[in-house]
Chain A
Amino acid sequence: MAAAEQEKLEALRQEVRAWLKKNLPEGWGSPAYVPPERGSKEAQELGKDWQKRLYEAGYTGFGIPTEYGGIERSRAEVAVIREEMQRTGTPPPAGSLGPMIVIPTLLRYGNEEQKKRFIPKILNGEESWCECFSEPDAGSDLANIQKTGVRDGDEWVVNGQSVWTSGSKFADWGVAPVKTDPNAPRHRNLSYFVFDCKSPGFEVRPLKQMTGDAEFSETFFDNVRIPHANMIGEEGQGWYVAMATLEAERGGGIQFVAPSRRIEATTLGGVDNYVELAKNTKRRGGIVWDDPLFRQRIAQFAIENEAIKHGRERMRVKAMKRQLTGHEQSIGSVFSREKNQRQANMVAEIMGANIQFMRGDPRSLDDGSWTYTFLRTRGNTIETGTTEVNRGIIAERLLGLPRNRM
């Protein structure tokens, strides 16, 4: 690399460091910092503000055309920004579903007007999004969506119910595939809409998980009126638009999401964290880290994380080259989600009886975050398409094996 370019990158690194120092919440990284409760309004506000700051500083929005608010950076620059953000960690950006799934969907299927209207406000943190996909009888069989839309002049009148709606508690906008032609065959009977969550008739009822959090909701559509102009793609094309959304989500949608340690940690699992844990945990009189069996397993996770990291980097590079990411996202999804569970299981083994401590017990480590992770990861191989559905996609779409639905 030319010396001048090296110098430019080093200057950027210093700039990002100074910026982080100035912009991270007070006390960040020290025990004095108490983050707002997960899923609370405060957490949402903090995340929105963080996204806004990042965007204004030019530290997110890569790979998106500038006419929709995207920011041009070289791959090397992006890497520097990402490294610095990962070094300090950052507040989780709020409403990451917008960059994660809505931007890729709009880039692929939205018209000019839609892209100009929605993408900039996702990037600057102004509007957050929810995803009304699954229904009680349309889980793995998503094509079985029963939510109906009837055309009335320039609007569609939508009725029905979603379940496991992600991001719905504080969302400003939502995406939803809707059955607009009850007589058309499967996969040709849906149309895909974006809608304003303040629309009369749209109701959100939070669903509590066994972790105690309510990350998802049941959402109800009672004569919700959606302008025809909010249809993404053609009428009857909704299944394919929905697949674009899911492809992005299955890959972790990482290509447009602002860099932060937390986002990486969800799949890379913070090997450093459990190396620390292993070094600080005594079992049967010895340190876990000295146990050759645990050392082998922890090292193996570090090895597997390399593959995941490169899968993600491949997506980012594709996005920057304006190339579509496709069904290969299912490979990363199956592998990293199952790995998450295996990893949580191993951490539980390291902790032994201490894995029993839940959040709120003063004796718990990291306020019970490992136990939380153990319980939370049970859903990892279910959400955004079960690993069975994803294996089917790999077998049929990528490998061309005969069709067998699931």
Chain B
Amino acid sequence: MAIEYGLNEEQEMLKTMARDFLANECPSTHVRELMEDETGFDPELWKKMAEVGWLGLVFPEEYGGSGMNFRDLTILMEEMGRAVLPGPFVSTLLQVGMPVLAYGTEEQKNEILPKIASGEVIFTLALTEASASYDAAAVQVKATADKDVYILNGTKLFVPDAHIADYMLVVARTGDGAKAEDGITIFIVDGKSPGISSTVLKTIANDKLCEVVFNGVKVPRENILGELDRGWSEVKKIVERAAVGKCCEMAGCIQQALDMTVEYAKERKQYDRPIGSFQVIQHYCADMATDVDGTTLSAYQAAWMLSEGLPCTKEVAVAKAWAGEACQRVMALAHQIHGAIGVTIDHDLQYYTRRAKAAEVTFGDARFYREIVAQELGM
């Protein structure tokens, strides 16, 4: 089995459809409205995304899905990155829908997946805490067994879209094992349960990350996703999958920033000629293209391997480490070439800068993943 670099007919169609859909339904003027909106969520757009089959793209048909695979989904992610689409797509589908499909009981799948596919419910994953780390030791929120329920106490931070989430997956500590990885359990929690309070954080990407406080929140025992105390290996896979989705979104984000920059370099004239005719600007654009290409290829590799079910810890780490830093380099040059106009609040470039910065630290930054690469190299 070997990686396909090109897209098959179905994937090409998905890509074209996604680009057209986003251009029509979420142009940059609408992105701006959503960024400035308090909830940052457009229910109409969400409904339309359900209608075109995106919210259940990777679910089998029996759960109301379209039966496509993870690699197909990442094609969509790339287009969403190009459009800097706001909203709970990653949180609902990548962080929750796919894990439920992978680790849920038949009952859980039947209950949750069709509702996600139809756009009825928004989900999110409450994983990170004040340390903002993706290590097992960072999971401190406690779930204590009490007869037929578990009681959650503690605070999660940087939880996307919790303010509008109907349900969330909460990663909590249920036991104290020898290792930090032991005693971690994933719970499916009703977002409206008494004792939950969410506050939207003021963040660089205005992406509605929240602080979620759990104060004696009762969760029925049957709401455990996967196995009691052994949830960490699944959390790791959830983060891996979300990280690769994010990498594809980042690839789209910087591809669009590159396209905007090249366009600007062709149009903007100084010294009676387009600035794109100056060698220094050409070299900057070439450097950007090199970074975009590397980001895209490493993201595709990881996406394909995940999709095929191949072990790819190293490839995921390579992709996210690369994407995080490449995005910063690309955006810095995009700003440099756009000059002063690019740092104004009225220019679209700022959305790409903000999104790229947030994406760099979401699901682990380059330092986090370089360490994994080093371990995979046997160091």
Residues of A within 8 A of B (CB): 134, 137, 139-141, 144, 163-164, 207-210, 212, 216, 282-285, 341, 345, 348-349, 352-361, 363-364, 368, 371, 374-375, 378-379, 381-383, 386-388, 391, 405-406
Contacts and interface: CB of A to CB of B under 8 A. Distances in A.
Interface stretch (B80-88, B141-149, B350-358): B350-358
B135 A356 contact: no
Nearest to A293: B367
A388 B280 contact: yes
Contact of A352 (B211, B275, B342, B365): B365
20 contacts: A137-B270, A140-B339, A208-B345, A209-B345, A210-B344, A352-B133, A353-B362, A354-B132, A356-B201, A356-B203, A357-B204, A361-B201, A364-B202, A371-B204, A374-B357, A378-B342, A378-B343, A382-B336, A382-B343, A388-B280
B340 A139 contact: yes
Contacts of A387: 336
B7 interface: no
B297 interface: no
B205 interface: yes
Contact of A359 (B202, B270, B339): B202
Contacts of A357: 201-204
A388 B283 CA distance: 12
A170 to B, nearest CB: 21
Contact of A355 (B131, B204, B367): B204
Interface string B26-64: 000000000000000000000000000000000000000
Contact of B361 (A216, A341, A353, A381): A353
A137 B267 CA distance: 12
Q: Which 9 A-B pairs have the closest CB atoms?
A: A353-B132, A361-B202, A141-B270, A210-B350, A356-B203, A208-B345, A353-B361, A358-B202, A379-B343
A381 B281 CA distance: 14
Nearest to A364: B202
Contact of A139 (B158, B339, B357): B339
Interface of B: 128, 131-133, 135, 137, 157-158, 201-205, 209, 211, 269-271, 275, 278, 280-281, 328, 332, 335-336, 339-340, 342-346, 350, 353-354, 357-358, 361-362, 365, 367-368, 371
Q: Which residue of A359, A361, A383 has the most chain B CB atoms within 10 A of its CB atom?
A: A361
Contact of A210 (B135, B353, B367): B353
A363 B280 contact: no
Contacts of B128: 353
Nearest to A214: B345
Contact of B365 (A212, A349, A371, A382): A349
B125 to A, nearest CB: 15
A348 B367 CA distance: 12
Given A284-B371, A345-B328, A375-B353, 11 more contacts: A209-B343, A216-B340, A285-B137, A353-B361, A356-B361, A357-B201, A378-B335, A383-B340, A386-B336, A405-B271, A406-B271
B202 A210 contact: no
A387 B339 CA distance: 11
A209 B341 CA distance: 9
A363 B137 contact: no
A378 B339 contact: no
A140 B135 CA distance: 47
B97 to A, nearest CB: 24
B271 A141 contact: yes
Given A358-B203, A388-B280, A209 B344 contact: yes
B231 to A, nearest CB: 20
Nearest to B370: A293
Nearest to A209: B343
Nearest to B277: A406
B362 A382 contact: no
Contacts of B275: 140
